[in-house]
Structure 1
């Protein structure tokens, strides 16, 4: 069996896997352990004195090798903070007004991709299958080919992919589209994303002679693992503290990174309107929003943080009682077990991004529920998960009245309906779990590389 090589912007190092890592890190680690694989990427650190040549730091655990590089301050500013987070991220989420593009950021992005492409080949042994993850490394496949790597190379995009009219706003979009076409396989979360890519190819000035194979591979979770971990979180000291603090009230939970794509502002406003329109809900429901800070050095993220703090204070100031706080807004992360425990205790999972590639929190909420008395999921139609979880209460996050109605419907849904919806959703999650996702991608990549090689011959 070929050794699997995973390339991602951040590497889930062995010391971190038991902390706040999500299901993706767990699933990739399992795949790497099967083949004695390699995980290669950035270590998350920035060295102010770093310049020029460097060597990857190597670690090994459970048969998996971990190789990480550190970035200089200039590389971090141009590649990660600049192009990845202030150009690609907003563009892939259709937030055009947040794009800050220029040639310097674009050049820095290509330079860091070239740095990784130069350091990966010496770590290869000759029988590998390379799986590149996400928008940070769009050019990496092309650059590895230029380094003489002839192994199967696949790319999986975890975010949405935009249509042509948005893609063409990207600085250097023609070269990046051509670079994507050097992969043997490109995987997308949904058919919409795949079709948007095809739309971009149709507008390309020079279509590739041998286009990559395209596939839809909606990422899943390990349902049993999530359920077991959620139960541990529910039974933990933190879980019991949460239960005591609620005083018998129902619980609505949202878990998101602090990001403008997650729809938190609309979510808070909808909750305020719910309490306005349905006074019977007052003092009977608590909304817990966990939103750890991410990309705090991007100005737009500081702006949204300040606005959400204002909204939280406004809502609590308007509706709170001496023994009830309507909205608990927590700007920090928690251990994964605790987060899953929060989801297990919740009566409603509120997952309403303005646009999301998949959103595994929606799937984790379903897996964490008690089959005998499951909560209801309120899910944005603009999340990739909505393509599979059609039994959720689906809402348009751009329509505040629809958000309010969806939340109220979830809070008042009869048990029989909640059970029926949950059974449909958990059945889908079991069929399309994390193991099927990575197995399907790896097998398709192997086939695509063989077919491409035959076509070249």
Structure 2
């Protein structure tokens, strides 16, 4: 997937709405594709085998509009379908498959992505025109949004889109999945400053998150201005989402129990959740939020390089569910939450505790519209003329994560090491242009052009060239024919979130004479599609040997491997992915178990947990900082603050710790500084009164937070008002100098 703009939101600390409070402290705060020569065809398409017949019977019917050539739409080959431009630049064949039932989803769903699920363009008169976008994600999710009267939020793709512009309705002859999505269900996000959007999208999303999350920190650019732009645009997306939440709640006809579901997508929107959550809590609304990352999530040692790593993690943790393609990414995320934020995590249950909330983390491997590609492969005419030459196929967006240079060198090594394949095999590499205005991508294209020319110049004969290189767009029906008629699918990215090209190759294979899939383990699909031949794209010798093995593989082994691959991908298609998300969010239930959604929680902390987690850290550290609360920690909770005392044995431990030169102890409390110092009575430690507004260091230096003019007068007035109105039924008010506390622990 290309690092296109996709989803947004602004970071804020997640609210702790469920914590148990027995004391309230009040603080006043300041404010047409190229043809190529003769190639070897695969066997003619024959009558469907029993397996094909079974597959066809089990799939939904396929519909195609009359004019296939006028429906360009994004087509996903890696990780996501909601793109600002076609992921592979492919002209989409607008094929509509009937969606699988979604078990009567009644909860209104708000989908937030960087782009709207259709393409908006202006005609010669300046009026907006709407064309379909039939990518896999749109095909699966749009019917759900339509069914539950939900909303889809995203950028229009037009820099000149104004507030007064109106999104047109779909055309009467539109058969795409978004045809039923009314204009009122599509909410555009308007970024008024084009420079801000450029910094957000090209700067932060493409220049920072894309290489960093693909574990390529040497290509990553860190810039404060692009990060600020990312925050601003995320804020705009979050505010649009809040408006949509209010709208669907007001218009909801299914009753008060139908909680809106907000589904955020991808690395463009990693800060939105906290802004949304904080605001809906203030407004008194109840929602459930899910986030899905369509690219890899890096390990801790890569993620911590990002200067604002904590903000990103906290933003994602604002959701109730955080989804990734595979379990490895889930574990990376949990590890980052634990090591960067200090969160409690359960790696068995895949749970994170953050700000008093428990967030579920789950592997939800995305699929493809399997039935559509199967039908395309059955219908598409042959594109390879008759020949004895075998075709090895590579299909990628031109990006440094795809390993195209390594792949070309490995194919060259095949011809050197196994000369029997000279004039017997070709590599057909489709490279779709991407970010052509970026120097790094221009240089990559030049390197590929030179290498292709070098290999062809060395091995070509008058009737044969080893590499057929297509730099441009390919129609989806033609692509399906490429998949079907190739003997090997060579998918070797250096790093990829999922890579759906591998799945599409499998869906288009014939049962009677399938090809062989070669796959990199560094793609998410490589860990799922185990029947594929695994290769290390960094090791050219390994790839060359595996290519030779694939070209020589007998029919029975090819059929066995491909049968298992097809069986899995048919079951785990994109509709199943959406169903899994909805089920996890508690929107739909299994027919066998119609139980309501139940929250999961981490086990309560016990003494042994401190020994397990803190013991090794204390043993291995050179300096130790101990920060303690007073009431309820050093002292048992007393009926009134004046009755609280510190046990003698606890005081002795503090005195011993204070004598270690490499141990620093601080006691922080809501009490005023003098009262706290009197209650603890240990020298050589730091005291923080009024929750840190007053600090006394061991050397006697003191810090007092500056108060705005009139603060004390307003605080006294507030204290008086609380005494008059709130000191009933056992509740009472305690002045704390710079704060005032209202105690209601003993109320009836």
Same fold by TM (over 0.5)?
yes
User: Is 2:303 aligned against 1:163?
Assistant: no
SS for the counterpart of 2:153 is: strand
**Is residue 293–residue 331 contact of structure 1 (8 Å, CA) maintained in 2?**
yes
Q: 1:187 aligns with which of 323, 343, 349?
A: 323
The Cα shift of 1:205 comes to 3.6
Counting only pairs closer than 5 Å after superposition, residues 190-201 of structure 1 correspond to structure 2 as: 190-201=326-337
Is 1:144 paired with 2:249?
no
Q: Which ranges of structure 2 fall in alignment gaps of 5 or more residues?
A: 1-105, 120-129, 171-178, 250-258, 344-353, 588-595, 604-748
Higher mean C-alpha displacement, 211-220 vs 68-77? 68-77
Deviates more, 1:318-327 or 1:373-382: 318-327
CA contact (8 A) 1:288 1:329 kept: yes
Larger Rg: 2
Deviations, residues 67-89 of structure 1 (Å, cap 9, x unaligned): 33354421232110000001001
Match of 2:372 in 1: 225
The correspondence for 1:74, drawn from 171, 195, 203, is: 195
> Paired residue for 2:108?
3
Alpha carbons of structure 1 residues 249 and 31: separation in structure 2 relative to 1, 3 Å:
farther
Distance 2:597 2:318 in 1: 11
After TM superposition, give the deviation of residue 406 of structure 1 in Å.
1.5
Q: Please state how far the C-alpha of 1:5 moved relative to its aligned partner.
A: 1.9
CA distance in 2, matches of 1:57, 1:92: 36
Distance 1:273 1:132 in 2: 44
Q: Give the 3 Å change call, closer, same or farther, for CA 78–56 of structure 1 in structure 2.
A: farther
Measured in 2, the distance between the counterparts of 1:34 and 1:350 equals 39
Greater percentage in helix: 1
The answer as to whether partners of 2:153 and 2:240 remain within 8 angstroms in 1 is no
Q: Please point out which of 404, 421, 426 is paired with 1:286.
A: 426
Task: Please point out which of 572, 582, 605 is paired with 1:432.
Answer: 572
- 2:260·2:286 contact (CA, 8 Å) conserved in 1? no
Residues 250, 284 of structure 1: 8 Å contact kept: yes
TM alignment of 1:46-445, pairs within 5 A: 46-47=159-160, 54=163, 57-61=166-170, 62-64=179-181, 65-71=185-191, 72-124=193-245, 125-126=248-249, 127-148=259-280, 150-207=286-343, 208=354, 209-232=356-379, 234-235=380-381, 240=382, 242-244=383-385, 247-445=387-585
Please report how far the alpha carbon of residue 345 of structure 1 lies from its aligned counterpart in structure 2 after TM superposition.
1.4
Contact (CA 8 Å) 1:5, 1:129: kept in 2 or not? yes
* CA distance in 2 between partners of 1:411 and 1:288 (Å): 15
CA drift at 1:400: 1.1
Instruction: Please say if residues 110 and 244 of structure 2, whose CA atoms lie closer than 8 Å, have aligned partners that are also in contact.
Output: no
Q: In the alignment, which of 23, 32, 39 is matched to residue 145 of structure 2? A: 32
8 A Cα contact 2:264 2:289, kept in partner: yes
Choose 56-65 or 200-209, whichever is displaced more: 56-65
| TM-score scaled by length of structure 1 | 0.91
Q: TM-score, normalised by structure 2?
A: 0.56
Q: C-alpha separation between the residues in 2 aligned to 1:205 and 1:388?
A: 30
Match of 2:512, SS state, is coil
Q: Give the Å deviation of 1:274.
A: 0.9
Deviates more, 1:72-81 or 1:369-378: 72-81
Tell me the CA shift for residue 290 of structure 1.
1.1
Q: Is the 8 A contact 1:262 1:354 kept in 2?
A: yes
CA distance in 1, matches of 2:279, 2:264: 16
Contact 1:117 1:147 in 2 (8 A): no
Aligned residues: 441
1:361-397 per-residue CA deviation (whole Å, 9 max, x = no partner) reads 1011001000100000000011111122100011111
Matched position secondary structure for 1:45? coil
Distance 1:283 1:220, change over 3 A: same
Contact 2:199–2:226 under 8 Å retained in 1: yes
CA distance in 2, matches of 1:56, 1:82: 28
Q: Alpha-carbon deviation of 1:449?
A: 8.0
Following the alignment from structure 1 to structure 2, what is the Cα–Cα distance between the partners of residues 138 and 54? Answer: 25
Q: Distance in 1 between matches of 2:274 and 2:168?
A: 27
- For residues 148-187 of structure 1, the C-alpha deviation after alignment (integer angstroms, 9 at most, x for no partner) is 2632110001111011111111131111111111101000
- The answer for unaligned runs of 5 or more in structure 1 is none
Q: Which moved more, 1:199-208 or 1:96-105?
A: 199-208
For residues 66 and 247 of structure 1, the distance between their equivalents in structure 2, rounded to whole angstroms, comes to: 50
Distance 1:203 1:313 in 2: 48
- How far off its partner does 1:33 sit? 3.4
Mean CA deviation greater in 363-372 or 202-211: 202-211
CA–CA distance in 2 between the matches of 1:449 and 1:45? 40
Deviation at 1:4, TM superposition (A): 2.0
Is the 8 Å Cα contact of residues 366 and 574 (structure 2) preserved in structure 1? yes
Match of 2:614 in 1: none
Which SS does the other structure have where 1:291 is aligned?
strand
Structure 2 Cα separation of the partners of residues 146 and 54 of structure 1: 26
CA RMSD of aligned residues (A): 2.2
